[in-house]
Amino acid sequence: MSPSSRLEALADVSTTARARVDQLLTLAEDGLRRMHDGGVFGHTLRAVKTDTGWTERLEGDSLRYASMVALGLSHVDEEVQRMVLGGRTAAELARTCAVRAEASPDAGAVALAAWSAAEAGGICAAQLFAVLAARIESPRPIDTVDCAWALTAALAAGHLGSTKRLVELAGMRLRAAQSRDGLFPHLLPARASGRLRAHIGCFADQVYPIQALSRLSVARNDASALAAAESCAARICALQGPAGQWWWHYDTRDGSVVERYPVYSVHQHAMAPMALLDLQEAGGPDHWRSIILGLQWLDAPPETAETLVCPQKGVIWRKVARREPAKAARAVAAVTTAMAPGLHLPMIDTLFPPGPVDHECRPYELGWLLYAWRSRLVGAHDDGSKPGEI
């Protein structure tokens, strides 16, 4: 890319989309401030009805989400960081997350904390990387997303410490699981998900490997890693919905859609752009049409007349789902497609119509929004090294 920022690159493609993203970024800063409480980030900001009307309630605490927020905030002005974090900086938040992660049994939380510690905090969390290397080297199943995060974390810390072994382990395990159509399963190995779900990978299982493999291609000058990322990106873009929807579940056997809903807002405004722009900046093709179409869905989702973007509340509501009992459509789709690729229950949209909006918002969604559009283009660190150089 010749422009100096992702936002400038977006403006070259669509000034309308650039203006809308600017508005969403302002919303994200305000929303994150409301989700920060006493040095931690809640898990969910949920709309609740009271005797006097609707309000929002902050629930829980998430180490994963705090690390994601640290990554996003590290790319905004320090004044904004301190406004959101009650006087602290993104680097301080990232380092706090790294300390908390030392006691966490959650491989995903450990990987995200190591990533944010390196990229936002400027430190190599050696203890966390040792845990990740042991976890990925183990024959036990691991989530595809966790493995991709571990690879990205190791690449982010490559100029700060020795992470070469983890890069090799995570890269090999990811690439061994990719299907011929480019898609990734939910678990590594896929068979660990069981007979009815081994063929399924969700949208997140595609996005984070695209990002990790794109960065690996830059760090190692690895054309095969770039080709793997390109293959996955091409497939999800080919399957994108007519109104820009990024669908939820895919069949790794034939590269088809298993179940379309829910459509998550974070996929539209943050996760898809984040991965696809990393791919483009690594030397892959541009997918601006798909990125912009995905953004447009936020303001005109054909499934509902409700507004998903609420700047006055500092939220983008989480998803549009089906009207169904307890994920029934996904369960049915898993069973029918396990019997035969592409086999779907007739009239599924009539039985379980899409439309209900999930009135909650999570900190990571806004953190990833900042990260997707504010993070630096592929280039040099301040110390002169390339991103992930090892």
Domains of the chain: 6-374 (1.50.10.10)
pLDDT of residue 262 exceeding 70, the answer is yes
pLDDT for res 385: 45
**Residue 16: enclosing H or E segment and its boundaries?**
helix 15-35
Q: Give, in order, the Cα–Cα distances in Å from 190 to each of 119, 140, 184.
A: 30, 12, 9
If you count them, how many residues does the chain have?
Answer: 390
pLDDT for res 292: 98
Q: Which percentage of the chain shows pLDDT scores above 70? A: 96
User: In degrees to the nearest 10, what's the CA dihedral of 58, 150, 10, 181?
Assistant: -110
List pLDDT tens digits, range 75-127: 999 999 999 999 999 999 999 999 999 999 999 999 999 999 999 999 999 99
List pLDDT tens digits, range 10-33: 999 999 999 999 999 999 999 999
pLDDT of residue 376 exceeding 90, the answer is no
| Cα-Cα end-to-end distance for the chain | 24
> How high does pLDDT run on average in the chain?
93
Q: What is the mean pLDDT of residues 200-224?
A: 97
pLDDT for res 377: 54
Q: Give, in order, the Cα–Cα distances in Å from 79 to each of 5, 70, 84, 313.
A: 20, 14, 9, 21
pLDDT for res 4: 75
* Confidence at 326, pLDDT banded by 50, 70, 90: confident
Q: Considering only 55-59, 62-66, 175-179, 351-355, which range has the smallest mean pLDDT? A: 55-59
Q: What is the 3-state secondary structure (H, E, C) of 328-353?
A: HHHHHHHHHHHHCCCCCCCCHHHHCC
**Residue 290: enclosing H or E segment and its boundaries?**
helix 288-299
Whole-number Å distance between alpha carbons of 235 and 252: 11
